[in-house]
């Protein structure tokens, strides 16, 4: 990026961050360093610091620079998946410590915290962080190491005030208590719509598989922070745990980032229209939409053409669309539909976080909105 006094806009950063022309040849599309190891100039003398691709790779470094820039941080750390980021971040809490978690999270996050970290002595407590400052204040203890949440949340699309959470933990530190780290999963919004680090969060992370890459063709996770100590620990874990992305996957996310701002604008326009359509129908009981982004969830009313329950209608709708593909994941150019209680959030069944089996989750893509509305209308009419 140009080294001048003017800060580039997000749109310019999205196109150029990490995608600078190749230093060696000037190639506008930088090469993919598809290599496992690097020749050294002597014993213990790696060229440019490159030894082994699990530890360093130029393509991965470009992606890490890009995500740091887009999130307004100073460090980016890339992992093999969003779940690998979750595992590394959960390691920041040790035995005897606890994590205060938003009460509406991806089922895989719940599964990891409950079935992996809890057995290692790390407790997770689930709190409705969208309910305001007092709820969080009462939840914090001297054992609290992390405050972890999604906003918007998955799949009920609750919105948490990031700045208020940051202010609450700062107040605790100012009054002599332990100040936990604030960890925000920004997957649903992306930095095109919100940048948690600029609102006081300590760490932001993504399943980059989703909006950042945007094309359903890679699995990858990223974290960003401006805390040097946190970054050092995450880089150590990245290397020691070995859950690093391959260079081709890094390239695919870098390519996706260059159109992120354009895609998010269209996702939001289409989602707004879908929400208006759903709210205008008498056979829809509940619609969840935070007012931005491409994620929508809703519960159909019982009844319909065949006198079904809400849960039965949810399945019928998900199985009855043609443009909306029945599939897990989200954030790609094509529209997806799923029933979280039976799919992405099956692991929270029977817990306090259990998802209504009548809930349908939409990842609204960038297709023509009239086509999407007609597809959803046809499925609802037949459900």
pLDDT, tens digit (0-9, with 9 covering 90-100), for 87-137: 999 999 999 999 999 999 999 999 999 999 999 999 999 999 999 899 999
pLDDT on residue 6? 79
Where do the domains of the chain lie, and which CATH numbers do they carry? Answer: 10-258 (3.40.640.10), 261-382 (3.90.1150.10)
Count Cα atoms within 13 angstroms, Cβ side, for 31. Answer: 10
pLDDT on residue 287? 98
Per-residue pLDDT tens for 47-72?
999 999 999 999 999 999 999 999 99
Please give the Cα distance from 339 to 255 (Å, whole number). 30
pLDDT band at 3 (very low <50, low <70, confident <90, very high): low
Q: Is 54 a catalytic residue?
A: yes
Catalytic-labelled residue, pool 54, 118, 125, 235: 54
Mean pLDDT of the chain: 96
Please give the Cα distance from 360 to 375 (Å, whole number). 15
203-207 sheet: strands from edge to edge: 75-79, 221-225, 203-207, 181-185, 144-150, 98-102, 123-127
Per-residue pLDDT tens for 368-377?
999 999 999 9
Q: Is 22 a catalytic residue?
A: no
- Environment class of 334 (CB within 10 Å of its CB; exposed 0-12, middle 13-18, buried 19+): middle
Catalytic-labelled residue, pool 185, 202, 356, 375: 185
pLDDT on residue 2? 54
Q: Is 232 a catalytic residue?
A: no
Please give the Cα distance from 83 to 61 (Å, whole number). 20
Per-residue pLDDT tens for 242-300?
999 999 999 999 999 999 999 999 999 999 999 999 999 999 999 999 999 999 999 99
**pTM for this prediction:** 0.95
Catalytic-labelled residue, pool 117, 210, 263, 313: 210
Per-residue pLDDT tens for 149-198?
999 999 999 999 999 999 999 999 999 989 999 999 999 999 999 999 99
Catalytic-labelled residue, pool 50, 106, 110, 211: 106
């Amino acid at each position: 990026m140009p080294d001048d006094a003017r800060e580039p806009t997000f749109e310019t950063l999205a196109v150029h961050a990490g995608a600078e022309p190749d230093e060696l040849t000037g190639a506008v599309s930088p090469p993919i360093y598809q290599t496992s190891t690097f020749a050294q100039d002597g014993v213990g003398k790696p060229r440019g610091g490159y030894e082994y691709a699990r530890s360093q790779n130029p393509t991965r470094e470009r992606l890490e620079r890009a995500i740091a820039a887009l999130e307004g941080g100073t460090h980016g750390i890339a992992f093999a998946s969003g779940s690998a980021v979750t595992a590394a971040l959960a390691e920041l809490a040790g035995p005897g410590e606890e994590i205060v978690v938003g009460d509406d999270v991806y089922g895989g996050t719940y599964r990891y915290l409950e079935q992996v970290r809890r057995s290692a002595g790390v407790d997770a407590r689930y709190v409705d962080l969208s309910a305001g400052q007092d709820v969080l204040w009462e939840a914090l203890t001297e054992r609290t190491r992390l405050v972890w949440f999604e906003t918007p949340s998955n799949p009920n699309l609750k919105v948490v005030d990031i700045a208020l959470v940051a202010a609450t933990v700062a107040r605790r530190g100012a009054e002599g208590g332990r100040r936990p780290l604030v960890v925000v999963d920004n997957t649903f919004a992306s930095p095109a719509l919100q940048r948690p680090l600029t609102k006081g969060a300590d760490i932001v992370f993504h399943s980059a598989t989703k909006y950042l890459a945007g094309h359903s063709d890679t699995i990858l996770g990223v974290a960003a922070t401006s805390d040097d100590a946190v970054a050092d620990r995450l880089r150590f874990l990245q290397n020691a745990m070995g859950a690093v992305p391959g260079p081709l996957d890094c390239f695919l996310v870098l390519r996706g980032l260059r159109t992120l701002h354009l895609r998010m604008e269209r996702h939001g326009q289409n989602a707004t229209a879908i929400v208006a359509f759903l709210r205008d129908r008498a056979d829809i009981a509940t619609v969840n939409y935070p007012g931005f982004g491409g994620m929508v969830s809703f519960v159909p009313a019982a009844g319909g053409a065949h006198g079904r329950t809400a849960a039965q209608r949810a399945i019928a709708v998900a199985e009855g669309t043609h443009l909306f593909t029945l599939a897990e994941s989200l954030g790609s150019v094509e529209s997806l539909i799923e029933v979280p209680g039976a799919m992405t959030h099956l692991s929270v069944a029977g817990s306090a976080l259990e998802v209504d089996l009548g809930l349908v989750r939409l990842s609204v893509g960038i297709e023509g909105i009239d086509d999407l509305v007609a597809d959803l209308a046809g499925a609802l009419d037949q459900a």
